[in-house]
Structure 1
Amino acid sequence: MSLNNSDSLGHQPDLPFLDADDCSGAVVLVVDDDPTLRLLMKEALQQVGFQVMEARDGQDAIDLFQQIIPDIILMDVSMPVKNGFEACEEIRALPYGRYLPILMMTGLDDMNRVKQAYKAGATDFLVKPINWVILGHRVRYMLRSAKTLEQLRESQKNNQALIDSLPDTIVKVAINGTVLDYKAGDGGSLKMDKKDVIGYKLDAFLPKTLATELSGLVLDVFKSGETASKEFTIKLKRNKYVYEGRLIKIGDYEVVCILRDITERRNSEEKIHYLAYNDALTTLPNRSFFNEWVSNRLSYLRKLNGFLSVFILDLDNFKQINDTLGHNIGDALLKSVALRLKQAIDTVCDSQHGCGDECEVLLSRFGSDEFAVVFVHPRHAIPVEAIASEMHKEFSHSVELLGHEIFITASIGSASFPDDGRDLNALVKNADTAMHHSKRHGQNHFRSYSRSMNARSMDRLTLENSLRKALDSNELLLHYQPQVNLKTGKIVGAEALIRWQHPERGLISPDRFIPIAEDTGLINSIGEWVLGEACKQMKHWVDAGYDINRMAVNLSSIQLRQPDFIHRIRRIVSSVGIAPSYLEFELTETTLMRNAERSISLLHEIRDDGLVLSVDDFGTGYSSLSYLKRFPIDALKIDRSFVQDLEQDSDDAAITFAIIAMAHNLNLKVIAEGVETPQQLQILQEHECDEGQGYLFGRPQLPIEFEELLKKQSD
């Protein structure tokens, strides 16, 4: 560094101190009113590698300091204009003067001078006469110390910046529990002023439980010297805060506690956990929770030889309600079902069938309209029949939802540990099998699992797979049963009845495969095939000149629910080229009443197209007479159950005669099903029944056989 270039002397404000291991070239500002002494100091310092600048008094030193920013100042105390104490104090107040090493020199070795020097801000004090050999070492030592202190300050500054950027609350605690330092975190319940914390014990400002826990942990860390971690929960008024704490021992007498507010994270985790294990609509535990819960219970029940029963409950005709009334009604219904099942469980637990205090119960929603209930007892078998009965009672009355009165029933199946399965999958599968058996045997039923169900289920599954191929393989066929005018004895119509010619099982009746077709949705494609074939056959007979004026075809409620059902009928009838008036659709009372208002609208469309409509199996359903007169129907078919006991059962006879009279009063034609004896025929004729159908007139038969009957009638 050139002494002739004043701009290069010393350090500029943005330059650091010299390297601690090499102080050569450092700029020393010598301040003394004695020029001889200044010269001696200059020569002594230059000889050991320092650059030296001179000032003759305190004011001169202040002015020069602001120009060159030296690395160290050697300043006499007694000087004119401004003494060393005053100059030192002013330099300390200037930028870059706060930490600059200043060595004060005086010829008077008294304590007052020393105290005054340090009070003014001197780094060190030197008493004249000066030892010129030691002076260079003294200066070098002070520069190194200053550099070390500067590095320490920078490190502390960086550390503090890092600490300030953290969202954590940081508390430094002494071994006796007194707080030595404190930094407030972001928000939470631990944000306080330093003055209210530093110097106090933890229990002076922390909640009692947290202070006790934290104090104990501080002592543990002091003793072990190992870092400790723990989660703390603080409850203040209505709020709950969760903190993650880490405690680190610093030196021999201090512990730093880092407390991070993780309340939001814990709340999010709890919400995620809730959503993962609970159904969003009903708030019931979902299948994931069910699986874990049951698996855990089974693990200890095996050791205790305890008991567990799984109930699977499926709502009957829920899809129809959902599709017809809308998803908002469907959702409200599912919530209502959840409440009903809770009520049933409470009733069971409070009744004589209850399992007592040792019993555990879980209600969960599997999805859609399926629910599961589990009863657990360590010593007693579960009374499944009584429990299922109580559940069914809850479905015995209607519920009003958003202005709609809704009746809903449920099919229930159960499987019990250990008899029906020893693991989760087996119990759920078998309970589900039992539920489907109860549904197939009539809605609103209960079945407990039996091993024979598996064989039947496997048979059903095999039959279902075969049925999917039956249409393409031309295995389905139609038989036709004559419908006879009871006054003339002539065949006036035919009912198309589907049969399945299975390649291995032979002829399968519709009672076995139609329920499967309805459950799987195959009924729609099968129904279209039946209608198409029946139309073709009817057209053939009409074109052949046979005296027959009606072909009856059964319709399923599932077919009616198709949005484009009317369009499908029109397309088939049009493609065959038959007049719609030759076709009669038979619908059961149950089909009509499932959604009476929609049925009325739909039937009017069918009737407007010229098709004939009749109610099949009349008397066995629950149709309302008020609705019956609103349905655009042409005929009632009396169910065979009334006709077969017509001769022996006066009640059946009375019902039959009442149906005939009522139908005629409504201008409806009456067809009696299941006519098998001449006596039955005679009674029906006496009461003016219009038409009959049954084995007395002819069994369901192949088209060629039926055509023979038509030929004989024509001859």
Structure 2
Amino acid sequence: MLVLTLETSANQYHKANILIVDDTSSNLRLLSKLLQDEGYAVRCALDGATALTIAEAEWPDIILLDIVMPEMDGYEICQQLKISEKTQQIPVIFFSNLEDVFDKQKAFDVGGVDYIPKSFNSLEVIIRIEHQLTIQSAKAEIIRLNTELEDRVKERTQELEVTNQKLQQEINQRQQVQDAMIRQALQDSLTGLANRNAFISKVKKAIKQKQSNNNYQYAIFLLECDRFKYVKHNYGYIEANRFLIALSNQITTCFSESACISRFEGDDFAILVDSFTELKIIKDLAKNVQEKLQQPFNIQEEKMKVSNCLGVALGNQQYLEVDHLLHDANLAMQVSKNQTIYQIFDTKKHSLFKGYNKKKLDIEAELKRAIDNNEFIVHYQPIISLATGKITELEAFIRWNHPQKGMVFPSSFIASAEETGLIIPMGDLVILEACKTIVKLQKEHDLNLKVSIDLSPAQFHQPNLVKKIKQIIDATGIKGEDLQLEMPEKAIYQNPELTIKYLNELKESRVGVGISDFGYGHSPLTYLALTYLISFSVSRVKIDSNLLQQDTQEKSDYNFQEHDIYFCEQLISLSRQINVPVIVKNLRFNKQLKYFKDLQCKFGQGILISKVLDPKALEELLLWSTF
């Protein structure tokens, strides 16, 4: 039995205790030296029995655990740790040479919080350990804040008893947030279905299996429904989320457990079905899905019917890439919109899909022409300090000055731009032009202004983003601290490692990065995402005033729903404690403005303050504004 204790100097984690478990002494020495130099107290164990004994006696703050070991492997050790009340809360980080997705998934299934390959970079190990310790600390702080809030809630009148019960249920759910966040890599957080990453991984395996065995049969379904936006706009985010869950459940009942059912985004779904024996099975499945979705859904007191379109692509040995399958299934789905019945893609009937494909190519060509001809322009909306009313920042918005159609708004072309990848050069144009405008305003009017630009996940995760930003800073002369980039909350979940990398690199240039549309539906995952703000060094958070839904029974001073008020209060309170400012957008009513000012929310924007302005109108506004 090998047990080493390495004393360290004080550090920000108060001599956090780390237990390393590995049957290879050289690995123990290497990791022990690395962690000792960082100020951690380290103990080592060569086998599972020793590790369990140390964990029970010492209560380490975190455990680094090898997988492949004699007698008791890492999976079994982790399971034993999670059974014991003394050790079940200790975070376990697996490190191993096993690279298969199955092995990594199993590591998370048995209770691991992270997975590091043994071919690790020293800095990566330290960062991941510090992130886990930060998450544990933040989770404890959230629990403390929730306890305080619960004490206040208990003092409310009997009229709020139902709301108190919902709050308690939500507090209990947060205990499961850590495991749910880990599964974000492969699971849609709202519905529990597979996400796009998991689906693509499954399809890749199907393609590979088809190449080696032509008797193997598989097909993919692409399904698009049409009522999600209607529910969101008319009933709010929470009811829209409930609708998506009900929709997902209905779809799931149509397929066997072996099918991979995935939600891509909104009410778009993809399904992989394999090992069928005849085409009739696929046709029956497609027909059954469409029939099931014709049954009305209950949205509050409204019975709502959902129309859908469904396209199917049958796997064959000519398909070598997932994108080609998705492309053909999507073509079939588009034709299905006009046929009112599912469509199976067939190369012999390719002419059926030429019309849609030509239209798509035409749109792509028109967008490329617009970029080349500088038809895209940038408008701006002021952001003010809610405390002083002064303009502190501008948010940039793209517009298309079409030669025939006039001014075209983003809702008409952004989806096509994202689908074709042209969102990247369009986004580059917006960043460059916005930086030029801010520098011009600062020089000509002696103004202290910042500019913020919203990026899509594709824009934020492009390989050369940081290089582009630095080049734009050098070319325009804008100060790094005057440029604020905003990414959607889902960009963090899609690629957390790249997000961390870019945040650190942009921070070196003093460029701020915030999260836009934070708290979509304010699910339990929102609260864990907030703890990530600490470890990710996010500069600010932007929320939508539409999070506050109308309370027809007028139960509160502001006439908003209690769970919405609770969410906003907790978010803004916690953001103040970690010094991450909150911006509320889409302010339309005075009562919204008053509510957020009373909460001491720092910044706001919306048509109540100012509409989106072209550069000329913006300059006129700034001339009359006080800074």
TM-score between both structures, scaled by the size of structure 2? 0.47
Q: Computing the radius of gyration over CA atoms, which structure comes out larger, 1 or 2?
A: 1
Which of the two has greater helix per residue?
2
Which of the two has greater strand per residue?
1
TM-score between both structures, scaled by the size of structure 1? 0.41
